[in-house]
């Protein structure tokens, strides 16, 4: 599913790799600063497409930037002329919907039988978010079994252990619906799984409609939830393991703002850089499914994260701990029709 960007000397010469390096977070090299106090290197963001601003200007004057058009069936959906099959829906999710799916992404989606990146080491981990909230520690009981304990009780056990808060911060992905086997790079229908939650199913189906072949309905069967923290990136890749590329991937952004790169069918093609904000939805169908794409940067500083309205609403809806997490994180839910 994920084709990592080749970091060899030759790969550094591709247009996509150069764009990744341009926008990636680097720090000023100054011995006066500790790691925590290092200042991010400035980066030129003038060529990053801002569909929020595009939408506002279009609604006001009808003007659009070169290479951008509105969808023929919905003027609130934007397309890039030389990337057919790509659709950008700014502010597609309400604040209430954003809060709901952030909470679900942290509390429900990592729950077994859904698999996460932690399965390989710890096996199925239950109630990770609540355990982190309660300052619990995951302790190895035997070779194949780990269990959460309160801090004091964990100290009394001379076993391998790791705090739940560390595990939560190291959560990188979870899978919903049909489970993806990362070692074999395919969907394994034999693995235990639940169906996509109905609310997410209906939401994805609604937003996918504009990108669907005429007369067909989107059937959400699997999803991957990505979790990003400061400095995390997603290298240039193709989502190529689904059977029918005419069906869109529905990608929902939650939390801190990010830069998204949409390349072409070769990494030699110059990618389009654009902002993804909380509540934005992106669709990739048809030819766009053959385009390399990735996330080289997220912004967690107050000036650029763009979660001013989300944070207090999330705190009211889901509690302070959830709001604190999202202040320095981004969550991306990618829903797919597998077969």
For 271, the token pair is 């990618």
Per-residue pLDDT, 3? 42
Average of per-residue pLDDT across 247-275: 97
What's the pLDDT band for 31 if we cut at 50, 70, 90?
low
Per-residue pLDDT, 186? 85
Per-residue pLDDT, 11? 56
SS3 202: helix
Reported as type and span, the H/E element at residue 80 is: strand 78-80
- Whether cis (ω within 30° of 0) applies to the bond prior to 19 is no
For 204, the token pair is 């994805």
Average of per-residue pLDDT across 78-105: 98
Per-residue pLDDT, 32? 55
pLDDT reading at 326 higher than 80: yes
Per-residue pLDDT, 34? 55
237 is an annotated ligand-binding site residue: yes
Per-residue pLDDT, 183? 74
320 is an annotated ligand-binding site residue: no
Distance CA 90, CA 276 (A): 8
293 is an annotated ligand-binding site residue: yes
For 123, the token pair is 């096996």
């Amino acid at each position: 599913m994920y084709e990592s960007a080749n970091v060899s000397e030759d790969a550094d010469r591709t247009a996509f790799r150069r764009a990744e390096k341009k926008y990636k977070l680097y720090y000023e090299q100054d011995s006066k600063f500790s790691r925590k106090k290092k200042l991010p290197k400035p980066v030129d963001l003038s060529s990053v497409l801002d569909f929020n601003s595009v939408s506002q200007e279009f609604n006001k004057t009808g003007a659009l930037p070169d290479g951008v058009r509105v969808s023929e069936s919905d003027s609130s959906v934007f397309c890039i002329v030389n990337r057919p099959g790509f659709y950008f829906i700014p502010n597609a999710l309400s604040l209430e919907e954003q809060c709901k799916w952030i909470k679900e992404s942290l509390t429900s989606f990592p729950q077994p039988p859904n698999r996460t990146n932690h399965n390989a080491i710890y096996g199925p981990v239950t109630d990770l978010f609540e355990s982190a909230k309660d300052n619990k520690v995951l302790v190895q009981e035997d070779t194949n079994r780990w269990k959460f304990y309160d801090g004091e009780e964990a100290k009394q056990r001379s076993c391998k252990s790791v705090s739940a808060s560390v595990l939560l911060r190291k959560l990188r992905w979870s899978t919903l619906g049909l489970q993806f086997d990362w070692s074999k790079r395919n969907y394994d229908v034999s693995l235990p799984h639940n169906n996509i939650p109905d609310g997410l199913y209906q939401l994805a189906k609604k937003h996918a409609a504009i990108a669907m072949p005429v007369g067909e309905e989107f059937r959400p069967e699997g999803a991957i939830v990505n979790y990003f923290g400061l400095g995390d990136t997603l290298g240039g890749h193709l989502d190529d393991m689904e059977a029918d590329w005419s069906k869109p991937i529905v990608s929902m952004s939650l939390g801190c703002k990010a830069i998204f790169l949409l390349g072409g069918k070769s990494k030699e093609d110059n990618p389009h850089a654009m902002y993804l904000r909380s509540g934005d939805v992106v669709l990739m169908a048809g030819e766009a499914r053959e385009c390399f794409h990735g996330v080289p940067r997220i912004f967690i500083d107050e000036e650029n994260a763009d979660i001013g309205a989300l944070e207090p609403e999330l705190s009211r809806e889901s509690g302070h701990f959830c709001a604190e997490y999202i202040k320095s994180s981004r969550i991306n839910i990618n829903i797919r029709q597998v077969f």
